[in-house]
Chain A
């Protein structure tokens, strides 16, 4: 791997020097150079990264293409975060990145280096569920449960952001999380319950 790499570089330097001598306009040299570099120099398709998930650092080698969602589920076996659409349209994959709700299916894992990721597994403290998890149980905030981890992560953020002034506001700020079972009323109730508790 290393060898091939250095051979290609040497070849590329020779090739580009020859081409550079031929070209007269400097602007073309640089774009030529980049063109050829893109073709010849082997692309590094794997990177070493350290990602902090639920306050624990994980170091691994990952494909540059991997999304945070796939990294969580496939590399770290944190399967609480769900894959619904994989295209940003359903919210099932919602996690918190540096405290902000984020779609893990549209996040490249390479871009989460140096950030703190919180998943549904990181909400509870030992056996003590997070108040939002308790509220979802108490208010029937789910049926099949597939959208639920994403709903709960989004709901926690919704309360933190202060978008709980009315049912309409809650619905608007939870619209990024779809529920095919239609547990919406229970979800709104859960959020109201937690929001009320937090303002007392």
Chain B
């Protein structure tokens, strides 16, 4: 049961795992762009073989980034209930909604399982796993600082149109910076509540309703401390000369080198192959 309190360990977002691999050292802007393209092409690929190939590429990315696969699997775990529910719903109802295409395996009342619905289930499950893996590699190999700077760099053209790109990046940075802090806070509150007899973590991990209900008594105090923190943080930022909307300089500057461009092109080629290659089934 003790393990259920250790939220900080289960949060992969913002948990940068520095291994110094080529993936880690890639220019964050190009890495982001490549990841976005890759994820897009995964969502466009609807063949079995294509998705298996995509999964292999994702696994290869873990190897290339020298990140243990267990990190990807732990990112997958919380998504399993959603994947399962989605799969079951698709399995039961997809065959109906889109007309009887393909071979009908099973038909009872409104339930109709066809070869098309099986394909949808398998492909969407694979896609889900691939996307989670791809995002895990991205977040594990890119510090949040780089990620926000990458987003900021990519969105910079919008800045000329008076979109507050920098403020947005700062908001994201701060939000992410406080994720572990709030996780620890929540851990503390759960322990405090548990010591007064509340039950946490006794519901199974797939019992979403139960687990959500368990969290309710924590929400108000968590909001409360969040507001206090926000106020203090604003004060500290002001004390360090932050004025919203002012022109600032940037400590980190990125310059895409030859290797970054080669890696980006490789990513683009893979993405294109996934979408356009004639996978037989």
Please say whether chains A and B are actual partners in one complex. Answer: no
Give the interface of B toward A (CB within 8 A): none
Give the interface of A toward B (CB within 8 A): none
